[in-house]
Structure 1
Amino acid sequence: MAKFDDKATYQSHYLGLAWEFLNPLIQIGIYYLVFGVALRRGDPMPGVPYLPWMVIGITPWLYMSKTVLDASKSVYQQVNLASKMKFPVSILPSIKIVGNLASFWTMLAFSIFLMLVNHMYPTISWIQFIYYFICMIVLLYALGIFNSTVTVLVRDWQITLQSILRMLFYMSGVLFNFATSNFPVVLIRILELNPFYYVINGMRESMLSKGWVWQEPNLTITIVFWMFVFIVMTVGTFLHNKFRANFVDLI
């Protein structure tokens, strides 16, 4: 279903599924010219050039932000499936999660290419990437169940979610390294509680061999992250099960 959904989305475009990869590359080029060239203030990490550092972080962000928005509309857009047959509505958000993975893997390969060009090679810490990838998928499914249900109940939530993601883009460490910024320590610690930051920073540290998940402050942030996921998953599942039978009538 995820594969069919991708083809249906781009079937009227001349370049078809190529836009899944061209859009992220164009955005990366723009952000690099603005923040990596025009506004550059030194490397974000010692010995790590800005471009590979940024691409490693923006790869999960582009995937997560697009998937969050797509998953939030999944039930509203596909409610006909539930009205015409006995269909497990709860899997609709996961279709978007799987469908957007193609562009994520492509961007990840591009990130690794940039690292190799800049003489940054694989280390044992790369194995942590598997853990953070699982964190990302679980977070997206929890948000997908919650947002897709709330979107059916409150149509304004979709627009609100877009605004929230625009704000989180600058609060998730995608373009700036909080650790080397001039922000107060208290503000940095608050920003680090952002679950999107946890995934982005974790993948960065894994790929750049800059830290381990059990080290502070990662350990504290890990506990906060899983508490957030558990709460969102619990609330989202409760709302989904409560209103699932009424989705067709509500829409």
Structure 2
Amino acid sequence: MKEVATLFKEQFKNMGIVFRISRYEDMASYQSHYLGLVWEYLYPLIQICIYWLVFGVGLKRSGTTGGADYLPWMVIGITPWFFMNRATLDASKSIYQRVNIVSKMKFPVSILPSIRIISNLSSFWTMLVVSVFVGFLYGMRPNIYWFQSIYYFFAMMMLMLAFGIFNSAVSVLVRDYHILLQSVMRMLFYLSGVLFNFETGSFPPVIVRIMQVNPFFYVVSGFRETLFGQGWFWQRPTLTLSFWFFVLFFLLIGSHLHYKFRSRFVDLI
């Protein structure tokens, strides 16, 4: 727990640096493109249109969304997924991609995953606004459950921080890990209830319970329940406890690996 406390101390102490560098990286990533930062928002919109045409129109999965229209149901779920997927993969390679910073100056290495996480937030906010707008078109209206979005946003950021610290350290120690992580995230895309609701499908109850333990599903379904006004997070205590267990597990293991091998990161890279 001492290593976790040190991790959070470094995050808060260097919060200004995290936001400044993340804003710079956003601009630098697309400076050579004609549309620039527009691609940050255009790409997920194109993906949403493709998934809606395939699953919403082509396969007609509207009947498996608990009564909600498929398009807003899918858009609301895919918004946090796009953020978590990109933040996870970017954070996992944040240390070995910044070896020049690590080796040439005294730099708090633990904030490198946070920089990549924060830099992906701009597209998340834009997509969230789009999600709410689409929901309004289909009859969704503000309700008291919307205050719960603060909790799920905090839960999502904590998961990304814990997962980012863990993945970034392991990716330095085992360079093949990032490739494995990409494959795992592709699999989790279909197992996290982003495109279809396995809770109302024909899966056996045991399989459904196993899939519900997935922390990415917890965040995706949480944003849906919040915006559609379907319930509070404490009404699913088992899922809530299992989610925070995962967060604590990755925080403990990730911070331990990070501080144990941090002095050797340059040599390992």
Same fold (TM over 0.5): yes
Q: Secondary structure at the match of 2:245?
A: helix
> Residue 186 of structure 1 corresponds to which residue in structure 2?
206
Gaps of 5+ in 1: none
Report % sequence identity.
Answer: 60
What one-letter code is carried by the residue in structure 2 that aligns with 1:79?
V
| Aligned pairs, number | 249
1:90 shift after superposition: 0.1
What one-letter code is carried by the residue in structure 2 that aligns with 1:161?
L
- 1:124-139 maps to which residues of 2 (within 5 A)? 124-139=144-159
> Residue 153 of structure 1 corresponds to which residue in structure 2?
173
- State how far apart, in whole Å, the 2-side matches of 1:162 and 1:225 are: 21
Q: Secondary structure at the match of 1:40?
A: coil
Asked if 1:250 corresponds to 2:231, the answer is no
Do the aligned partners of 2:193 and 2:217 also contact (CA within 8 Å) in 1?
Answer: yes
1:46 shift after superposition: 4.1
> Residue 37 of structure 1 corresponds to which residue in structure 2?
57
Structure 1 residue aligned with 2:187, among 167, 177, 186?
Answer: 167
- State how far apart, in whole Å, the 2-side matches of 1:58 and 1:176 are: 11
> Residue 20 of structure 1 corresponds to which residue in structure 2?
40
- 1:12-161 maps to which residues of 2 (within 5 A)? 12-161=32-181
Q: Secondary structure at the match of 1:74?
A: coil
Asked if 1:234 corresponds to 2:239, the answer is no
1:80 shift after superposition: 1.2
What one-letter code is carried by the residue in structure 1 that aligns with 2:243?
F
Do the aligned partners of 1:44 and 1:53 also contact (CA within 8 Å) in 2?
Answer: no
Q: Secondary structure at the match of 1:11?
A: coil
Structure 2 residue aligned with 1:4, among 24, 31, 50?
Answer: 24
What one-letter code is carried by the residue in structure 1 that aligns with 2:198?
F
- State how far apart, in whole Å, the 1-side matches of 2:77 and 2:139 are: 18
The normalised TM-score by structure 2 is 0.91
What one-letter code is carried by the residue in structure 1 that aligns with 2:40?
E
- State how far apart, in whole Å, the 1-side matches of 2:176 and 2:229 are: 42
- State how far apart, in whole Å, the 1-side matches of 2:63 and 2:158 are: 32
> Residue 203 of structure 1 corresponds to which residue in structure 2?
223
* Residues 98-144 of structure 1: CA deviation (Å, up to 9, x unaligned): 10001000000000001111111010001111101000000001011
Asked if 1:224 corresponds to 2:242, the answer is yes
Q: Which aligned runs of 4 or more in structure 1 are off by greater than 2 angstroms?
A: 41-47
Moved more, 41-50 or 119-128: 41-50
Q: Secondary structure at the match of 2:31?
A: coil
The normalised TM-score by structure 1 is 0.97
- State how far apart, in whole Å, the 2-side matches of 1:84 and 1:115 are: 49
- State how far apart, in whole Å, the 2-side matches of 1:29 and 1:113 are: 15
1:83 shift after superposition: 1.0
